[in-house]
């Protein structure tokens, strides 16, 4: 079984990075893996998304968090494939996140794929099985009640003044 370092070295030789025997950086290795996995990512993506865009967004997300560059390549590629299968973009828009964590059993850093609330809303909208969906913050002094069962009920009445703000918050009719 190949180790991460041996795979990185093989990719560096295949890439012909023009830097002599200098091994490829983690970002270059991941970029090479994403390029190699392009056809598989394309197969997994929904019709409304493009594999090149997904690869660029994933690589940007990975490069912006140095701990992700320390993660195992299989866990990184697994997270990218999960995002592709669900048609969610990782990173800034909040659809999903790649979170690095230390796997104590394996003694290595791995990536955990986590869907954000915006991603859940996007998936729910795409399902076509919902009439309306929205998300709002609930603060400490807000009145908030919910009830499950045959007749579910949700009541959220924001407090007129947020405890962390010194000004009054205007109440707007949002149509719900």
- Contact between 98 and 66 under an 8 Å Cβ cutoff? The reply is no
Predicted confidence (pLDDT) per residue in 111-164, tens digit: 999 999 999 999 999 998 988 888 888 888 889 899 999 999 999 998 876 555
Of the candidates 83, 161, 160, 69, the residue with the CA atom closest to the CA atom of residue 119 = 83
Alpha carbon distance 59, 93 (integer Å): 15
Of the candidates 77, 163, 176, 101, the residue with the CA atom closest to the CA atom of residue 134 = 176
Strand partners, 114: 97
Strand partners, 100: 111
Alpha carbon distance 60, 58 (integer Å): 5
Predicted confidence (pLDDT) per residue in 38-63, tens digit: 888 888 888 888 888 888 899 899 88
Is the Cα dihedral 31, 34, 39, 44 positive or negative? negative
The model carries a pTM of: 0.67
């Amino acid at each position: 079984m190949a180790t991460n370092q041996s795979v990185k070295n093989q990719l560096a030789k295949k890439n012909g990075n023009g830097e002599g025997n200098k091994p490829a950086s983690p970002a270059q290795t991941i970029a090479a893996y994403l390029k190699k996995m392009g056809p598989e990512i394309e197969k997994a993506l929904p019709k409304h998304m493009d594999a090149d865009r997904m690869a660029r967004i994933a690589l940007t997300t990975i490069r912006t968090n140095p701990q992700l560059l320390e993660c195992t390549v299989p866990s990184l590629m697994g997270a990218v494939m999960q995002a592709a299968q669900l048609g969610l973009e990782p990173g800034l828009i909040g659809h999903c996140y790649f979170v690095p964590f230390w796997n104590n059993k394996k003694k290595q850093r791995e990536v955990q794929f986590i869907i954000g609330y915006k991603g859940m809303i996007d998936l729910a909208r795409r399902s076509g099985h919902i009439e309306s969906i929205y998300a709002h913050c609930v603060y400490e002094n807000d009145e908030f009640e919910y009830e499950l069962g045959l007749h579910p009920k949700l009541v959220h009445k924001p407090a007129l003044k947020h405890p962390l703000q010194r000004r009054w918050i205007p109440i707007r009719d949002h149509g719900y």
